[in-house]
Amino acid sequence: MSTLTGNVFMISKMMNFTTHIRHAHHKCKILVIGGGCGGCTMAAKLSKNFGEAPNHVIVLEPSEDHYYQPLFTLVGGGIKPLEASRRPMKDVLPQKAQWIKDRVTFFRPNNNEVTTSRGDTIQYEVMIVAMGLELYWDQIPGLLEGLSNPDAQICSIYGSNTVSQVYDKIRKTNNGTAVFTFPNTPVKCPGAPQKIAYLAEDYWSREKKRDSIDIVYNTSLPVIFGVKKYADALWNICKQRNIQVNVRKNLIEIRPNHKEAVFQDLDNPDQTKTVKYSLLHVTPPMGVPETLKTQRDLTNAAGFLDIDPKTLQHNKFKNVYGLGDCTSTPNSKTMAAIASQSHVLYKNILDDLANKKMRMVYDGYASCPLVTGYGKCILAEFNYELKPKETFPVNQGREMYFTYLLKEYFFPFLYWNFMLRGNWNGPEIFRKVFSIIKKKDPLYEAAK
Ligand SMILES: Cc1cc2nc3c(=O)[nH]c(=O)nc-3n(C[C@H](O)[C@H](O)[C@H](O)COP(=O)(O)OP(=O)(O)OC[C@H]3O[C@@H](n4cnc5c(N)ncnc54)[C@H](O)[C@@H]3O)c2cc1C
């Protein structure tokens, strides 16, 4: 079997031909499902250890393109072109790993095997699941219709195929009510639905249109942000800039022809309210891809990959691990979280393969650069307990230009050049260095 796999690997490497092989059987040491942020990062780390077939790394990923999604907010704000967030998948996946351009359709964790949509089977010693979240555009009646109409004032920074229309629609808005939504599901980057509202508000202020436009942020959540320190700062910003925030309001229907959006009051589910809008920015409901969700032995009741929140190892199948948005860990679903998770996972997998006790623990670290306008950002960093875990020796609960510069320039640089090459483990090292300064600076404690 391994000879066949070796040949398949060699031929596919030589001819870059993997997509055309049907019903092949592959065997590998590490199988990574998904070549997005988490999958690509783990493949890069582990392919440094495991190189030659059959003891190699396979990445199963159907997309031609890889997106740095955190940039979508800035694309929506007209700051970056969509192209800056996109690279061909073949250029970002590690050279030493084998890319199979296909999707998983069935998991057989008892046999350490998956099946792909072309009928290939892949056998693994260790499997890492990093399938991200799917966007459920069709769950809101009227949304797909509205998005496909260039004249309808409906937009979303969440899709790679919808984000480039956002800035145009913001620019076209001259009056009326601009409504921004947050759905009743877990979302990737829970700060993004309000970041785009702040950018739009700033744009309309600069264009002297602000007085003619009412801004409403309707969120399904009971709070504006999960961490009190940053929530307090954001409430103040909304108050100062006259952005109306309504909590527990869930978008359930859009009537694009009448420019009407219907919201359900989640505390009184029988009550709905119809709002007339001049711009509607929608964060769609999202969830785990169907293939994973329906695999009951791998997932929890909500359909997320059921892993230990500390070790990131599957709770039932000990050679299955997960990271990123598709897992059950209760952290904020961000790329920043994945950077920390990838370090823990890498070490734990190597320990486990060497029959050692796993030593690394993920503490739920996540970060959210809350862009509050052009050149302004609150850099939220926190852990599972929703306690701030800040890196820099300043109070990060304030809007700052330097954290905005990190978001616009430094983080994308870090992502393409270090994280996707397996060389970025999160800001822990900087935090340690800066903690020495923090301890020595009496003004820091006073400013916190
Ligand atoms: C608008 C927006 C703003 C954001 N802002 C920030 C931010 O400021 N900071 C931050 O840290 N994070 C931010 N994020 C979140 C961050 O982008 C995600 O948390 C991160 O991309 C998740 O990585 P992942 O690997 O879990 O999923 P993804 O990167 O989405 O990758 C999942 C991969 O799995 C593949 N896949 C799906 N189904 C299958 C299948 N059946 N078989 C094989 N492969 C499959 C997909 O093709 C995809 O490539 C933002 C996201 C968005 C959308």
Q: Quick check: helix, strand or coil at residue 91? A: helix
Q: Quick check: helix, strand or coil at residue 388? A: strand
Asked if residue 334 has its Cβ within 6 Å of ligand 1, the reply is: yes
**Region for residue 18 given its phi and psi (left: phi exceeds 0; alpha: psi -120 to 50; beta: otherwise):** alpha
CA 157 to chain CA centroid, nearest Å: 12
Q: Which of 188, 327, 342 to mutate to test the pocket of ligand 1 (most atoms within 8 A of CB)?
A: 188
d(CA 222, CA 210): 27
For residue 138, the CA-to-ligand 1 centroid distance in Å is 19
d(CA 322, CA 133): 13
Give pLDDT tens digits along the chain (448 positions).
333 444 444 444 444 444 454 689 999 999 999 999 999 999 999 999 997 888 899 999 999 999 999 999 999 999 999 999 999 999 999 999 999 999 999 999 999 999 999 999 999 999 999 999 999 999 999 999 999 998 899 999 999 999 999 999 999 999 999 999 999 999 999 999 999 999 999 999 999 999 999 999 999 999 999 999 999 999 999 999 999 999 999 999 999 999 999 999 999 999 999 999 999 999 999 999 999 999 999 999 999 999 999 999 999 999 999 999 999 999 999 999 999 999 999 999 999 999 999 999 999 999 999 999 999 999 999 999 999 999 999 999 999 999 999 999 999 999 999 999 999 999 998 998 888 876 665 555 554 4
Q: Taking a C-beta distance cutoff of 8 angstroms, is the pair 156, 251 a contact?
A: no
- The residue annotated as part of the active site, out of 28, 37, 368, 377, is 368
Question: 374: closest CA among 198, 189, 209?
Answer: 198
For residue 412, the CA-to-ligand 1 centroid distance in Å is 14
Asked if residue 426 has its Cβ within 6 Å of ligand 1, the reply is: no
Question: 139: closest CA among 250, 12, 244, 213?
Answer: 250
pTM, rounded to two decimals: 0.93
Indicate which residue's Cα is closest to atom 21 of ligand 1: 37
Asked if residue 340 has its Cβ within 6 Å of ligand 1, the reply is: no
**309-351: pLDDT as tens digits:** 999 999 999 999 999 999 999 999 999 999 999 999 999 999 9
| DSSP string covering 209-246 | -GGGEEEEEEESSSSSSSSHHHHHHHHHHHHHTTEEEE
Asked if residue 192 has its Cβ within 6 Å of ligand 1, the reply is: yes
Q: What pLDDT does 9 receive?
A: 42
d(CA 66, CA 35): 8
Q: Taking a C-beta distance cutoff of 8 angstroms, is the pair 12, 18 a contact?
A: yes
Virtual CA dihedral for 43, 392, 403, 72, nearest 10 degrees?
20
Indicate which residue's Cα is closest to atom 40 of ligand 1: 103
Asked if residue 114 has its Cβ within 6 Å of ligand 1, the reply is: no
- The residue annotated as part of the active site, out of 189, 238, 326, 377, is 189
Q: Which atom of ligand 1 is closest in space to residue 371's alpha carbon? A: 8
Indicate which residue's Cα is closest to atom 24 of ligand 1: 132
For residue 394, the CA-to-ligand 1 centroid distance in Å is 30
For residue 42, the CA-to-ligand 1 centroid distance in Å is 14
Active site residue 368: yes
Asked if residue 202 has its Cβ within 6 Å of ligand 1, the reply is: no
Structure tokens at 203: 């744009």
Asked if residue 61 has its Cβ within 6 Å of ligand 1, the reply is: yes
**Region for residue 104 given its phi and psi (left: phi exceeds 0; alpha: psi -120 to 50; beta: otherwise):** beta
| Sign, CA torsion 195/197/200/206 | negative
For residue 125, the CA-to-ligand 1 centroid distance in Å is 25
Q: How many CB atoms within 10 Å of residue 85?
A: 21
Q: Which atom of ligand 1 is closest in space to residue 76's alpha carbon? A: 1
